[in-house]
């Protein structure tokens, strides 16, 4: 029998995270309007408050599972973080499991973003044209290309950058990844991207122009190994999106319903108003998606690693969440009417924020392809 009850410790940590999110909400509009300004390392309100993620890392006693409880905390994601979390840097995570001992020693604690996307290559990295050429005379790699939408790059000390190497005997150009630190000659940051939503989310573009890095900065990780880290982070991003959907659902409840409207659940469909019925359906979609996210983390917890199997679960959670986040926010805005379109409330911001959650960390269609390939036992070449 599956038990969905949270443990007392889970509830305690979630309550702290939920309160953090409500405290931080007063900064939401500011960082939405001032997207060039990085969020501070700590908001003043963080002082004296426990960090739920740090509490979880320090002691996992009594939680449902470290990864499951972490996902529960991500489901409380604030508009603006009360304090920055250096554990979210994907490039640093890649070093942790794909770096050599000396790379881990040199860069294991360095904040590194991950840079794959190029102007003509998002969902399909094979379209990437950024190149890496080995220069034997200097034992250096010479990197050229343009990388866009690099999350966390403003704050980071550099990035793990994926490029294409020279063609092999079959004419195939392999994917190669490098640690590129800021300040390396030839790395030209282009500043924050002016986005429609999640405008406070640190996102930068940069160019590599004959940027030379030592051979020791090359990672010994192929495409699959480098991207395996996304399996873990897809559920995290799914949870962030779903929290935005929940914000709008809460707003609908607070604005349109009486304080205690619980009876509408018991009355049955025929006795509910059309409005109540729509909200109940959206709540059900929200809850089902939340369970898919937690299930993917439960599978990861059981496997102990991110692998092919967890990849499919993470893609299921991500595609469901991207879809639910879009649908719930759109319908809530429809239910709320013109009020939610003004800057008097955060409704319109949440609506803009929601869109990207079906685009980055694998767009919905791409995640559904991953799931379909697994179900139908097709290879990448057979179904793309
Ligand atoms: C805020 C933000 C942060 C980001 N952070 C990072 C980061 O840190 N590092 C990084 O490398 N990238 C990052 N990205 C890039 C992100 O991963 C890409 O935007 C994403 O992969 C989609 O690529 P694209 O924008 O080129 O869209 P496209 O790939 O052009 O897709 C456009 C549409 O076509 C659909 N589509 C594409 N291919 C297929 C197909 N074969 N079958 C069916 N439908 C298809 C897609 O689902 C989508 O709906 C970020 C993007 C944003 C907006």
Instruction: Output the DSSP codes for 230-272.
Output: HHHHHHHHHHHHHHHHHHHHHHHHHHHS-S--THHHHS-GGGS
- Of 8-22, 50-64, 213-227, 334-348, the one with minimum mean pLDDT is 213-227
Asked whether 218 and 178 are in contact (CB, 8 A), the reply is yes
Tell me the average pLDDT across 303-331. 91
d(CA 264, CA 279): 10
Tell me the average pLDDT across 245-272. 81
Quote the pLDDT of residue 263: 63
The Cβ of residue 330 has, within 10 Å, a number of other Cβ atoms equal to 15
For ligand 1, the distance from its centroid to the CA atom of residue 124, given in whole angstroms, is 8
* Share of residues in the chain with pLDDT > 90 (%): 79
Residues in the chain: 384
pLDDT digits (tens, 9 = 90+) for 93-135: 999 888 999 999 999 999 999 999 999 999 999 999 999 999 9
Tell me the average pLDDT across 245-254. 94
Query: Token match 């803009």: residue?
Result: 352
Quote the pLDDT of residue 92: 94
Whether residue 294 is predicted with pLDDT greater than 60 in this model: the reply is yes
Q: What CA–CA distances, in Å, run from 193 to 75, 132, 277?
A: 25, 25, 40
Name which of 267, 291, 264 is nearest 280 in CA terms: 264
Atom of ligand 1 nearest to the CA of 151: 8
Whether residue 223 is predicted with pLDDT greater than 90 in this model: the reply is no
Atom of ligand 1 nearest to the CA of 90: 8
Please give the residue that has the higher pLDDT: either 208 or 381: 208
> What is residue 45's three-state secondary structure?
helix
Whether residue 254 is predicted with pLDDT greater than 70 in this model: the reply is yes
Torsion sign over Cα 307, 180, 70, 284: negative
d(CA 219, CA 175): 11
Whether residue 260 is predicted with pLDDT greater than 60 in this model: the reply is no
d(CA 213, CA 143): 8
Whether residue 372 is predicted with pLDDT greater than 70 in this model: the reply is yes
d(CA 306, CA 297): 10
d(CA 168, CA 170): 5
Token pair for residue 314? 């993470």
Predicted structure pTM score: 0.94
The Cβ of residue 87 has, within 10 Å, a number of other Cβ atoms equal to 12
- Which among 117, 195, 196, 384 is the best mutation to test ligand 1's pocket, defined by most ligand atoms within 8 Å of the CB? 117
Q: How far is CA 341 from the centre of its chain?
A: 26
For ligand 1, the distance from its centroid to the CA atom of residue 148, given in whole angstroms, is 11
Whether residue 262 is predicted with pLDDT greater than 70 in this model: the reply is no
d(CA 331, CA 118): 33
Asked whether 163 and 131 are in contact (CB, 8 A), the reply is yes
Whether residue 321 is predicted with pLDDT greater than 70 in this model: the reply is yes
d(CA 187, CA 269): 60
Quote the pLDDT of residue 88: 82
Tell me the average pLDDT across 161-174. 92
The Cβ of residue 364 has, within 10 Å, a number of other Cβ atoms equal to 18
d(CA 50, CA 76): 15
Name which of 141, 138, 140, 139 is nearest 130 in CA terms: 141
Quote the pLDDT of residue 273: 85
Query: In the structure, which protein residues have their CB atom closer than 6 angstroms to any atom of ligand 1?
Result: 113-117, 122-124, 149-151, 195, 198, 201, 203, 356, 359-360, 363-366, 384
Tell me the average pLDDT across 69-76. 97
Phi-psi region of 262 (alpha: psi -120 to 50; beta: other; left: phi over 0): alpha
Q: Which residue ranges form the domains of the chain, and what is each CATH number?
A: 8-84 (no CATH), 89-221 (2.40.110.10), 228-376 (1.20.140.10)
Quote the pLDDT of residue 259: 57
Tell me the average pLDDT across 161-190. 95
Asked whether 9 and 63 are in contact (CB, 8 A), the reply is yes
Phi-psi region of 152 (alpha: psi -120 to 50; beta: other; left: phi over 0): left
Tell me the average pLDDT across 208-231. 88
Quote the pLDDT of residue 359: 95
């Amino acid at each position: 029998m599956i038990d969905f009850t949270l443990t007392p410790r889970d509830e305690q940590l979630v309550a702290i995270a939920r309160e953090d999110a409500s405290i931080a909400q007063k900064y939401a509009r500011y960082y939405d309007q001032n997207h060039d300004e990085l969020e501070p390392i700590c908001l003043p309100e963080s002082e004296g408050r426990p960090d739920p993620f740090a509490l979880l890392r320090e002691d996992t006693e009594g939680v449902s599972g470290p990864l499951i409880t972490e996902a529960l905390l991500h489901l409380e994601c604030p508009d603006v973080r009360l304090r920055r979390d250096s554990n979210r840097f994907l490039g640093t995570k890649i070093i942790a499991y794909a770096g050599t001992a000396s790379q881990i020693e040199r860069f294991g604690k360095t904040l590194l973003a991950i840079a794959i996307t190029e102007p003509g290559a998002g969902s399909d990295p094979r379209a990437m044209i950024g190149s890496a050429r080995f220069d034997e005379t200097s034992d250096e790699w010479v990197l050229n290309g343009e990388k866009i939408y690099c999350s966390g790059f403003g704050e980071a000390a550099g990035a793990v950058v994926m490029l294409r190497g020279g063609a092999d005997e079959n004419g195939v150009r392999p994917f190669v990844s490098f640690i590129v630190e800021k300040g390396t000659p030839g790395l030209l940051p282009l500043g924050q991207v002016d986005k429609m939503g999640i405008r406070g989310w640190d996102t930068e573009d940069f160019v590599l122009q004959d940027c030379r890095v030592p051979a020791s900065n090359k990672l010994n990780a192929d495409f699959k190994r480098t991207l395996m880290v996304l399996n873990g982070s897809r559920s995290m991003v799914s949870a962030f999106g779903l929290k935005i959907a929940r914000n709008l659902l809460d707003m609908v409840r607070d604005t349109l319903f009486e304080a205690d409207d619980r009876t509408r659940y018991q009355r049955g469909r025929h006795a509910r108003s059309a409005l109540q019925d729509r909200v109940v359906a959206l709540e059900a979609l929200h809850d089902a998606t939340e369970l898919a996210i937690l299930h993917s983390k439960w599978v990861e917890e059981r496997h102990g690693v991110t692998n092919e199997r967890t990849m499919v679960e993470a893609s299921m959670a991500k595609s469901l969440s991207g879809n639910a986040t879009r649908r719930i926010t759109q319908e809530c805005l429809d239910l709320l009417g013109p009020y939610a379109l003004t800057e008097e409330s955060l409704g319109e911001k949440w609506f803009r924020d929601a869109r990207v959650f079906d685009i980055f960390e694998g767009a919905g269609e791409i995640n559904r392809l991953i799931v379909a390939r697994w179900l139908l036992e097709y290879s990448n070449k057979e179904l793309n």
